[in-house]
Amino acid sequence: MNAISDIALNQLFTEARTHNAWLPKKVTDQTLHDIYELAKWGPTSANLSPMRILYLRDGQAREKLYPALAPGNVDKVKASPVTAVIALDEQFYTYALKLFPHAPKISEMFSKDKGLSDTTALRNSSLQGAYFILASRALGLDCGPMSGFDNKKLDEAYFGGTTWKSNFICNLGYGDKTKLFPRLPRLSFEEACKIV
């Protein structure tokens, strides 16, 4: 298999930025479907795929999010065309027969061990959230992921009476590149990695 082009690598990683300002361009429902259709293929533990997504547009449904946000994030969310709540399903294992059919008892392993279940749901929905960001970028969108919000307030506003819980939120749209600040540094290989 060949490596992807430098153009694709730039779009996904090296030139992609976290956006806080947005152009007045709509994100279509089809694009939101397409993001999921790409992101769902990323690997998860036992293929159990705990990520759930709630897409919020303008209007009353989205306004319920504002009280849960850190003050510095309210304007960023208001300005974006779409905000995705990347959530997890605490009972993700109820889909085990569909997603991991060759091990029919795997759901019992999770249903009987809340610690294992919670850790697996958080870790794997976070992985899937990263796939979501890459899928969004691959389809030409910009992203503004953030964790500056009150999970409990968000969950009460949107997920009461369900098994879904918020992980992080991600604004989506077409970023205004004229309002980006200079790119911040990253750690070098030597600072962040070891080969043993």
Write a three-state SS string for 122-188.
Answer: HHHHHHHHHHHHHHHHHCCCEEEEECCECHHHHHHHHCCCCCEEEEEEEEEECECHHHCCCCCCCCC
CA separation (Å) from 140 to 9, 18, 38, 188? 13, 14, 13, 28
Q: Give the domain ranges of the chain.
A: 47-176
- Fold topology of 47-176: NADH Oxidase (3.40.109)
What distance in Å separates the CA atoms of residue 158 and residue 169, rounded to the nearest whole number?
13
Q: Report the pLDDT value the prediction gives residue 59, as an integer from 0 to 100.
A: 86
Q: What is the DSSP string of 3-65?
A: PPPHHHHIIIIIS--B-SSB-S-PPPHHHHHHHHHHHTTS--GGG---EEEEEE-SSHHHHTT
Inter-residue contact 158 to 85 (CB < 8 Å): yes
Lookup: tokens for 101 = 């059919």
Inter-residue contact 136 to 57 (CB < 8 Å): no
pLDDT (tens, 9 = 90+) of the chain, 196 residues, equals 789 999 999 999 999 999 999 999 999 999 999 999 999 999 999 999 999 999 999 889 999 999 999 999 999 999 999 999 999 999 999 999 999 999 989 999 999 999 999 999 999 999 999 999 999 999 999 999 999 999 999 999 999 999 999 999 999 999 999 999 999 999 999 999 999 9
What distance in Å separates the CA atoms of residue 148 and residue 125, rounded to the nearest whole number?
18
**Which residue carries 């890459």 as its tokens?**
134
Q: What angle do CA 101, 87, 69 make, to 5 degrees?
A: 175
> What is the H or E stretch that residue 99 is in?
helix 96-99
Q: Report the pLDDT value the prediction gives residue 194, as an integer from 0 to 100.
A: 98
